[in-house]
Amino acid sequence: MDPNEIRKMSAVEVKTADTYKDDGHAYRQGLMDNRMGVIEPGVRCETCGNKHDVCPSHFGHIQLELPVIHIGFTNLLKTALKSTCNKCSRILLHEQEGTHPNDPEKSEQDHYRTRVYDVIQ
């Protein structure tokens, strides 16, 4: 999903890690902002107007200063980066590799490019 699309669908931008004030009310733009749903009986969600037992809950978003790599993709990213040249972005091959063993018309570079592409997808 596109980041701009996520921001549009988000009920609130979370800007503080605080949850509740001393008076027991949720901080606006905090982790428990009432626009993302409520957990207290009798309090209504500010997004849909429903009580806690009916509100489906709504998600918020956090605007980060820098991009963050999803930890689940670190091995794939590492493999892709190690497989390509930093200068020209071509697939790295040993000098003795020339053509693909199953198809002499297809270069080894084409074969590896396809394999790296499949892994990244």
pLDDT band of 103, cuts 50, 70, 90: low
Contacts 24+ apart (CB under 8 A), 92-95: none
What pTM did the predictor assign?
0.58
Q: Which residues pair with 107 in a beta bridge?
A: 99
Distances (CA, A) of 100 to 29, 79, 81, 105: 56, 21, 22, 8
What pLDDT is attached to residue 44?
A: 96
Domains of the chain: 1-68 (4.10.860.120), 71-120 (no CATH)
**Look-up: residue for tokens 């892994």?**
119
Neighbours of 13 (CB within 10 A): 12
Q: What is the pLDDT of residues 52-102, one digit of tens each?
A: 999 999 999 999 999 888 899 888 888 778 777 788 877 776 555 544 455
Q: ∠ CA 105-111-112 to the nearest 5 degrees?
A: 150
CA quadruple 60, 65, 70, 76: dihedral, nearest 10: 150
